[in-house]
């Protein structure tokens, strides 16, 4: 297993409680409140507030969507975005997906673990304007890491599979056949936003 992205456990520091390590890896320690304020400043708010969804609605869209688009920092400053199947653990605040152990995506994550993940859907139509549906979208920013092999990784792989396979037997057979060739990825969510727009006009 390539452990290039394995998260190293934060070193214990005395006399620091309710704190988290700086996600930029500079070794600084901030209080939880300071960290939350830093994250608010880090990500831009939605400009048109009338279109903004509340956080629970954005999380619900993330929960029920079948596919999302993962965007990473690619070669020569170009973004690289790829559709993936995924599992969203709402309680843990994490997104899991799987892929090959080598390739463009892995190389990009080796250079930078910052990612953006987007889902959209939940189209609704009003009778007076059936030609212009309302569409919801949720955008996630976070850090992506590889998961090591083991019991936990296998269970997460099953959770992803249960979203797409009809029964446990097919899941077990597929994991037995191809599981060893699969790499699991974990996104630690730092920010979620959502909005709903009507597909008409130029605004």
DSSP result, 146-190: EPPSSHHHHHHHHHHHHTT-SSHHHHHHHHHHHGGG-EEEEEEEE
Per-residue pLDDT of the chain (203 residues; tens, 9 = 90+): 444 444 444 433 333 323 333 333 333 333 334 455 555 568 888 777 778 899 999 999 999 999 999 999 999 999 999 999 999 999 999 999 999 999 999 999 999 999 999 999 988 887 778 888 999 999 999 999 999 888 889 999 999 999 999 999 999 999 999 888 899 999 999 999 999 888 886 55
DSSP string, 70-117: EEEE-GGG-EEEEEEE-EEETTTTEEEEEE-SSSHHHHHHHH--EEEE
Domains of the chain: 17-46 (no CATH), 48-198 (2.30.110.10)
C-alpha–C-alpha distance, residues 69 and 101, integer Å:
19
For residue 7, what are its two tokens? 């998260």
pLDDT of residue 29: 35
Which strand (E) or helix (H) includes residue 198?
A: strand 183-198
pLDDT of residue 200: 80
What pTM does this model have? 0.77
pLDDT of residue 89: 97
C-alpha–C-alpha distance, residues 134 and 137, integer Å:
10
pLDDT of residue 199: 84
pLDDT of residue 41: 66
Cα torsion at 39, 59, 101, 84 (round to 10°)? -130
For residue 163, what are its two tokens? 């979203």
């Amino acid at each position: 297993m390539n452990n290039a992205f394995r998260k190293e456990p934060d070193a214990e520091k005395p006399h620091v409680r309710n704190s988290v390590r700086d996600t930029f890896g500079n070794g600084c320690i901030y209080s939880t409140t300071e960290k939350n304020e830093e994250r608010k400043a880090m990500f831009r708010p939605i400009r048109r507030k009338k279109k903004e969804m509340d956080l629970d609605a954005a999380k619900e869209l993330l929960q029920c969507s079948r596919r999302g688009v993962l965007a990473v920092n690619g070669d020569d400053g170009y973004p690289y975005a790829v559709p993936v199947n995924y599992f969203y653990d709402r309680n843990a605040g994490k997104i899991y997906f799987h892929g090959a152990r080598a390739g463009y995506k892995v190389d990009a994550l080796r250079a930078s673990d910052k990612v953006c993940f987007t889902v959209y859907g939940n189209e609704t139509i009003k009778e007076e304007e059936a030609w212009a549906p309302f569409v919801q979208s949720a955008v996630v920013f976070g850090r992506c890491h590889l998961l090591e092999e083991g019991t936990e990784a296998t269970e997460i792989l099953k959770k992803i599979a249960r979203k797409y396979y009809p029964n446990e037997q097919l899941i077990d057979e597929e994991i037995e056949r191809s599981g060893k060739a699969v790499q699991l990825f974990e996104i630690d969510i730092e920010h979620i936003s959502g909005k709903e727009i009507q597909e008409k006009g130029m605004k």
